[in-house]
Amino acid sequence: MKNDSNLVDNLLKIKKRIDEAKTKKANLEGKIDSLLDDLKAEFDCTSFDEALKKLDSLREELEKQEQTLNQEIAKLQNEFDWE
């Protein structure tokens, strides 16, 4: 009888862990959906891969703008003898 009781207890513990894992999974899926909604609203991206491509594109654009800005600053420094 004790073995049956232990078996039942173990099965109940396993069931509880499974239920907790299902709840956690559902919560995480909800968070993923929310983050994807944010990506869509703010950056017009529908997937994580698309967001990474957009990020790379934005970084490239930022780098180009920084280079242009530095070139313009250098021109002004030369033109007005600033250092």
Burial 51-82 (b: 16+ CB within 10 A, else e): beeeeeeeeeeeeeeeeeeeeeeeeeeeeeee
The answer on 6 and 37 residing in a single domain is yes
* Together in a domain, 40 and 71: no
pLDDT over threshold 90, residue 3: no
- Are residue 7 and residue 37 in the same domain, yes or no? yes
Please answer whether residues 55 and 49 qualify as being in contact, where contact means their C-beta atoms are separated by less than 8 angstroms.
Answer: no
For residue 4, the model assigns a pLDDT of 78
What's this model's pTM, rounded to 2 decimal places? Answer: 0.65
Number of domains in the chain: 2
Distance (Å, whole) CA 33 – CA 51: 14
Q: Is the pLDDT of residue 24 over 70?
A: yes
- Average pLDDT over the chain, rounded to whole? 93
Tell whether 63 and 38 lie within a shared domain. Answer: no
Residues 26, 1 share a domain: yes
- Helix axis angle, 48-79 to 2-43, nearest 10°: 40
Question: What are the DSSP calls for 27-44, one per residue?
Answer: HHHHHHHHHHHHHHHHH-
Query: Is there a single domain that holds both residue 36 and residue 64?
Result: no
Residue 49 within any structural domain of the chain: no
Residue 14: give the domain boundaries.
1-44
